[in-house]
Chain A
Amino acid sequence: MTHDGNEHGPVRDDKVSAEFKSVYVELRGFVARSALMRDPGVDAEAVAHDIMMELWEKWSTFADTQHRKAWAFHVARHRYVDYQRKASRERTVSDPETAAMDRLTQVDDQTRIAYREALQEITDLPDDERDVINLQLNGFTLEEIAKVLDISTRTVSRRLEAARKQLRTRLGRRAPRQPPPLSDPGPPASPADGDDDHDGEGAR
């Protein structure tokens, strides 16, 4: 463990602990989600654990939560690669993190299929565009995204637009039907519509 000699001294006081606790859940969720958005197969919990430890070490160097988020985003961006390598060596069949991710990727209903496809399409996007979408999904505004990625707002808009266009097209190809709203799955599709998903006999 490294020691950075920050202004609070080696032992952080209760104030720092309280601050850390207050943002822990949010930051950890953000880090884990970011890692998953980059690669659904990554050991997101391990990435989050390490980044949170590192964050604790470097707590005093950050001005605010947004600053920490930006830092965490950048670290998570590279860290998952290490974990991926490590996981390929050590991961067992019953890896709990993978099992958690598998729950999302399980094909249990149409909604999940749509989300899985969307996640897949997002991970297939170019790095620049994926980062923008990722941050937007995590609730960042355009200005915040620009700040995190150190680019202009205009560039953010352009990338966002390009990413959304790509996603719209690709998801259109993948799923011609609209996914039902989250809150209400809606009535089951009619038999005629359902035929689209089958072998095409009905079209002849």
Chain B
Amino acid sequence: MMRNFRDWATRFASRLKVWRRAISDEDLDRVLSGLGQALTAVVDDHPQATLAYRDRFVEWLQAGDALRAAEEVGSSRRPTTAADVPGPLSPATRLEVVAARWSMAIGSESYVSEDLSPDLSEFLREFTLHVVAPEQTRIPVDRIGYELAQRIKTTPAAFGQSLRILSEFFRSLEERLPQTSDWTPVIGRFGEGYAAGTRARALEGQDLLIEALHRAKEAAVHAALINARFHEILHTAPIPMGIANPDGRITTANDALRRLIGEDVPVIDRDLASLAHDDDSRTPLWSLHPAYDDASEPAQEFRLATSPYATPVWVRVHWGRHRNDEDVPGEIPFVLEDVTQHRALRRWLDHSTRYDGAFDMPSKRHFMDRLSALSSTRNNGRVGMFAVRFDNMDAITAHYGSAASGKVAKELAARTRAAAEQAEMVTQLDATTIAILVAGPDQWAAIGPAIQLLVQSLTGPVAVTSKEAVSIVPLIGAVTDGPPHGDADSLIRWLDHSLDTNRRTTNSSQPRVIPAAEAESAASRVVEAAGLGQAIATDGVRLRHAPIGSARSARILGSHVTLHWRHPTMWRTPINEVLDLADTFGTTAAAGHWMISRAAETAARWYQKFGERSPFVRIDLPGRKPLTDTLFAHLAAELARYRFPERLLQLSVPVSALLDDDGRSWRELVGLTGNGIALIINGFGEHLNRMPRLTGTPFNGAVLDPQLAANLFSQSAPTAQDVETKPVVQALIECADTLSLETTVPGISTREQRDAVRRLGATLIEGDLTGCAGTEADLEAVVSRSMEIHAVAK
């Protein structure tokens, strides 16, 4: 027993690091000697440890000594040449001679600095090892070439000469040491590496230069940059570069420039401007030549140069400064930046050839081409053109100036484009006219509401100054192809005619001046409404479910659904405002339909999942005339599609919306309620005088006016109004009871408030106590949990 305990204690102690005993000296000696042997085994396992390697190594070292001796003797007499390489010396001895000659060949252009000489020797030694003893090499031979190209700037001629020297050396090695590897592939791989290195270096140089040119905002900095690196990269850079004299004639051109212009086009002694692309293009491609004698203002312009055998390319000319001081007098270096190589710039240039600068709309020519193409094919049926003319723009220009007028035109153009997004093409025909091309059945179907939206958005005010805004009178003209019209030009003429006719009939007046604040608000609303329409069409809106609970037990009985629109910039705008606005622009119906469809779908799904205890879905319909015929039809269709018990889908409607223009309740309401839907009066407490008129309408519930609910639990000092709130609420709830309506009180945050409204007779509550609004899944999870708890409690 005791021994067991000791064993256990020893084991336990050995597990705790701090209690472990140090090992004995004997153990340590054993470990150290074993480690020494293991290390020796590792070290001796390398070829370096063999005697053969040792002998070759010593031979190599001796050869190095001999070479130095030969070199010292040689240098005292005259420079060593290929013929002077001493014959009797070992092959490795000649290596050093080769290294010296090689360095000289590479450095013949004074490009190699003193610092790089050790690198050169190191590379050459490695290079030779690849031939003599490949197993000893540490750097791949192509890597040597690459590194060399990266570090040492040389000319192709010098490089070729250095390779010849090397080949000569290897050939002599081959004669003396037949066991050496074949050196031809080594040279080949080296050359590949060198070429890759040169390319990388040139590209790097180009990137650096172009990057620097892009960044340099000041013309002087451009010139300084060009001057600083110009001669260094002139002949090797793949950028078109050259030198011009003060007369503008090219005196030097590098290969890249010759390639750009065309190999067989004489470049020297020509004016740079004369090389510009010159065809019957519709835009001037080559503007006036910059003044060469104005050194303080080097030009940077977009030009189009061309090669006879290639497509025209865009270039930007960067001029350097005169180099009067140290170089040849009057040299003006220039760099043609091939901007077509830059994707972003190329896109922009392509875009700019097809789009007009002012409004960034497709150019008129582009528009006409498209119109002609559509008219000629006629696959899509009728082709139509609508034109919008901002008729009183002249008055705006006269009153506020051309800058303000331009701003207004731009804003209106943006609105037009937004409203006519579905159209085939929108373009600017002239300063005040925008044309909309319509083709295809889809576009024709959408054109009615689009034009309506367009007129409304264009008549909306536009801010011209910080204090004032104007609204214009848009003239709309339309023309469709087919007899009596002929080609595209004829269609445009007819469109003008149509606009003129409209002008005579509308008799447009001076611009209306509006306060800017109102204008801004209206302008943003226009954007919002357009965006909402898009969001609904593309399912960019979501439903948010706020739980509605029982006033007695707080159990979740249903959800109050609101439209949630994640607009990127307008996210702070209350959805009610947007819906009101949407109503103005005719998108309410779309929003209502969308909400009804989604809510019905959710209700049906929940019914399938939760059965009899399924929560209801209550949606708010906007206040202004929501109950249109199409909405009724849509609702009926959805109800027929998803069948679920009565009251699972609830429509919450303000009292004001329940009466028609004659003050009578909508007859359709009766039909609706018999169809499995519940109608809820929203804002119960408002417009009490209208309530008697709704007698006979089968309502199922009422939601207390949120303002009344808020006053009921106001924390501020009691006022006369507060004192009266409670009896009013009580009276309302009693009234609702009389009408057999379930009363919902919004804005309940605490249990005390819930108890209070329960005592007043309310049935349902909504607010922080029941939970904040979430997704459909969130509410579903809450209901599931509550049902599980309920089941367990049972």
Contacts and interface: CB of A to CB of B under 8 A. Distances in A.
Given A24-B58, A115-B35, A202-B11, A178 B27 contact: yes
4 closest residue pairs by CB, A with B? A168-B22, A172-B22, A32-B43, A11-B65
B64 A1 contact: yes
B61 A37 contact: no
B64 A171 contact: no
A130 interface: no
Contacts of A49: 48
A164 B68 CA distance: 49
Contacts of B48: 28, 32, 45, 48-49
Q: Which of B8, B43, B61 has the most CB of A within 10 A?
A: B43
Given A24-B54, A29-B49, A33-B40, A12 B65 contact: yes
Interface string B29-67: 011111111111011111011010011011001101110
A53 B429 CA distance: 83
Nearest to B68: A10
A1 B121 contact: yes
Interface stretch (B13-21, B526-534, B647-655, B762-770): B13-21
B24 interface: yes
A133 B25 contact: no
A50 to B, nearest CB: 11
Contacts of A90: 138-139
Interface string A1-31: 1010000011110000100110011001100
B72 interface: yes
A2 B49 CA distance: 25
A118 interface: yes
Given A12-B65, A46-B138, A178 B23 contact: yes
A44 interface: yes
Contact of A196 (B11, B33, B42, B49): B11
13 contacts: A1-B68, A1-B121, A32-B43, A112-B38, A165-B22, A168-B24, A168-B27, A168-B28, A171-B31, A172-B20, A172-B22, A173-B17, A175-B23
Contacts of B44: 29
Contact of A169 (B22, B33, B57): B22
A56 B24 contact: no
A104 B36 CA distance: 12
A63 to B, nearest CB: 21
A176 to B, nearest CB: 5
B772 interface: no
Contact of A133 (B17, B32, B66, B69): B32
Nearest to B121: A1
B12 interface: yes
Contacts of B68: 1, 3, 10
A182 B20 contact: no
Contacts of A168: 22-25, 27-28
Given A24-B58, A53-B61, A169-B22, A176 B14 contact: yes
A43 B663 CA distance: 97
Interface string B120-157: 01000000000000000011000000000000000000
Contact of A200 (B15, B32, B72, B138): B15
B22 A115 contact: no
B80 to A, nearest CB: 16
A103 B42 contact: yes
User: Which range holds the interface residue count of chain B?
Assistant: 35 or more
A75 interface: no
Q: Which of B14, B57, B121 has the most CB of A within 10 A?
A: B57
A36 B32 contact: no
Given A1-B64, A172-B21, A179 B27 contact: yes
Nearest to A3: B68
A122 B39 CA distance: 13
Given A29-B49, A164-B28, A196-B14, A115 B69 contact: no
A10 B61 CA distance: 11
Nearest to B18: A173
Contacts of A167: 28, 32
Q: Which of A33, A176, A195, A196 has the most CB of B within 10 A?
A: A176
B46 A118 contact: no
Nearest to A2: B68
B14 to A, nearest CB: 5
A36 B8 contact: no
A179 B30 contact: yes
Contact of A100 (B12, B34, B42): B42
The binding surface of chain A is classed by DSSP as helix
Contacts of A107: none
Contacts of A32: 43, 46, 48
Given A10-B69, A56-B61, A137 B14 contact: no
User: Which range holds the interface residue count of chain A?
Assistant: 35 or more
Nearest to A137: B36
A119 interface: yes
Contacts of A142: none
A182 B49 CA distance: 23
Nearest to B24: A168
A200 B42 CA distance: 35
Contact of A17 (B27, B42, B58): B58
Given A1-B121, A52-B57, A172-B20, A9 B42 contact: no
A172 B8 CA distance: 19
B34 A10 contact: no
Interface string A153-179: 000000000001101110111011011
B31 A203 contact: no
B12 A203 contact: yes
A149 interface: no
Contacts of B43: 28-29, 32-33, 36, 44, 48
Nearest to A164: B28
Nearest to A171: B23
B121 to A, nearest CB: 7
A146 interface: no
Contact of B38 (A11, A28, A104, A171): A104
Interface in A40-61: 44-46, 48-49, 52-53, 56
B113 to A, nearest CB: 19
Contacts of B27: 168, 171, 178-179
Interface string B346-381: 000000000000000000000000000000000000
Nearest to B99: A1
A66 to B, nearest CB: 18
A161 B642 CA distance: 89
A70 interface: no
Given A137-B35, A203-B15, A11 B42 contact: no
A181 interface: yes
Contacts of B45: 100, 103
B42 A12 contact: no
B114 to A, nearest CB: 15
Contacts of B11: 195-196, 202-203
A33 B41 CA distance: 10
Contact of A114 (B21, B24, B31): B31
A200 B15 CA distance: 8
A111 interface: yes
A81 interface: no
Interface string B207-247: 00000000000000000000000000000000000000000
A29 B42 contact: no
Nearest to B21: A172
A174 to B, nearest CB: 9
Nearest to A112: B38
A125 interface: no
B23 A36 contact: no
A167 B25 CA distance: 10
Contacts of B139: 90
A114 to B, nearest CB: 6
A1 B117 CA distance: 11
Contact of A115 (B14, B38, B57, B62): B38
Q: Which of B15, B33, B64 has the most CB of A within 10 A?
A: B64
Interface string A172-204: 110110110110000000000001100010110
